[in-house]
A and B are shown apart, each in its own frame.
Chain A
């Protein structure tokens, strides 16, 4: 018997965690600290090692090397049933021969808890499915099953709750509703949530901290705003939202703001957003940060001239432009339809500008399109 509530508490720490399947390295030397009580999202494209990481934390997969600990307790080789960790599985994995009630009571009974009935009722109330207690899992809808899977894990009050794309099977509306519910539950019960997803919007709206994972490695970790505004790699810049990445070179980095030359135009880049190792840089700017006007209009900030609109699509709240630059690159611009001026048309010559603080700089030696094929938003 294990008392999950006392055995280990504190931050989850992964140290040099590696998992190989034969030659293939699924999780590659991962270092990660997840603070106690936080809502942590692990975001990444399919096959990047998210599930494998969770399974190692849950004890269902043995690491090839490295260490996992909660607080000061090393749990790397601890049996799954001795860890203060519960999982909401990608496919729910509800026990088909047990009632909803018994599914939820399962963990409590194994631990020999006294007031099983009261806790199960509380858990059922939390997910608002009290009326379904006597049903079998196959008599529930996908969304209901998902909530039962959540209740079954949460009722044990583990130090750590692992959620493996628990919303993956739901339609968009239910998904949004469940996101709000999950976030609320997490604040309510105060346990650490590690939420795996490949939906960037889900990660952004729910998590305190996001780690973007790619090919078994963490690309970058930080708050949603930090990742979005100040990405460090082109993978993150493209995977999380969309970015224009323009090749340039740093010509002056003596001030607080570096000066970057992009095909003859000089623009400013704040030093704390410059992640280039040398003068070669990929200058990044988000499409919605760019202002666009007919050529000849006076602009301020970083200015790019000589663009011609190659495509304009009106999508209600905004108009999305593709602008062809003299050096052949197409830049994306999202313009809010808020100033009453008629949208620009295909073939119009334009001038673009943006505030220098929105610029970020990435090391110039990486693939400018990394991560964009994995991003469901870009086509």
Chain B
């Protein structure tokens, strides 16, 4: 074997990793770079470097209104879906009741249903109930499809909880409430937090169901979709990149805190 092939075979894994990550991150890098593009109407070709878009992210008409709506809907949907989903997860993970296995299957249905079908059906339902599509119909729709994900995530965490820990707490004079407060909840909390983050990201970037049920309320994905047809303003890239950076920071902080709590020396 000559030197080049040896080097190649030894670094194959690394080369593969670099290509893999390039595939994953190139679009994000592209988004990020073009958030600095000094574009006028359409952000498709590189014109020149500017910080203006970052200094004035609300510069493009309606972008911040749409973003604000998305954030409000995301927070509300996350709040309700996390509470309802967590309660359901406890009920399904902890109590034996008639038809539990049926419920376990039913909870997967909203995840398996095509969004386009669900969006259309929801709209039909809202209209026949006499609701006008708008802000609250979006929230209701989002809570609905987020719940399944919350239930599944939290239930997995509950299932991995050793029941003997709660029994040990009871043995050590903690009544049912104290046991939940001191043992069960703190141990399940990471699962609930993960579920909430998941719910928020699902809600924030949902387009299909939202598009059906939003009436004339604009959300960020809807804004991006509509403006992409006539030329996406660079501010959308700024907001996209910021979301990515915030998510990245959350993940890194989470990792750091998790490590500290697990006590890795």
Q: Which residues of B contact A1 (CB under 8 A)?
A: 173
- Are B170 and A81 in contact (CB-based, < 8 A)? yes
- Are A97 and B186 in contact (CB-based, < 8 A)? yes
- B172 contacts A by Cβ under 8 Å: yes
Knowing A96-B187, A135-B263, A138-B263 are in contact, say whether A87-B173 is a contact too (CB < 8 A).
no
- A282 contacts B by Cβ under 8 Å: no
- A244 contacts B by Cβ under 8 Å: no
Nearest chain B CB to A139 CB, angstrom units: 5
Closest to A1 in B: B173
- B118 contacts A by Cβ under 8 Å: no
Q: Which of B165, B171, B183 contacts A85 (CB 8 A)?
A: B171
- A106 contacts B by Cβ under 8 Å: yes
Q: Which residues of B contact A2 (CB under 8 A)?
A: 173
- A4 contacts B by Cβ under 8 Å: yes
Q: Which residues of B contact A136 (CB under 8 A)?
A: 262-263
- B50 contacts A by Cβ under 8 Å: no
How many A-B residue pairs have C-beta atoms within 8 angstroms? Tell me: 68
- A287 contacts B by Cβ under 8 Å: no
Q: Which residues of A contact B6 (CB under 8 A)?
A: none
Q: Which residues of A contact B175 (CB under 8 A)?
A: 79, 81
- Are B263 and A80 in contact (CB-based, < 8 A)? no
Most chain B C-beta atoms within 10 Å of own C-beta, residue among A85, A91, A110, A152: A110
Knowing A89-B168, A93-B162 are in contact, say whether A81-B183 is a contact too (CB < 8 A).
no
- A192 contacts B by Cβ under 8 Å: no
- Are B168 and A87 in contact (CB-based, < 8 A)? yes
Q: Which residues of B contact A107 (CB under 8 A)?
A: 172-173
- Are A106 and B170 in contact (CB-based, < 8 A)? no
Knowing A80-B167, A89-B164 are in contact, say whether A156-B183 is a contact too (CB < 8 A).
no
Q: Which of A85, A93, A139 contacts B168 (CB 8 A)?
A: A93
- B205 contacts A by Cβ under 8 Å: no
Q: Which residues of A contact B265 (CB under 8 A)?
A: 139
- A111 contacts B by Cβ under 8 Å: yes
Q: Which residues of B contact A79 (CB under 8 A)?
A: 170, 175
- In angstroms, Cα B173 to Cα A81, docked, is 4
Other than A1-B173, A96-B187, A138-B263, give 8 A-B pairs with Cβ distance below 8 A.
A59-B171, A93-B164, A93-B167, A107-B173, A110-B178, A136-B263, A138-B262, A156-B173
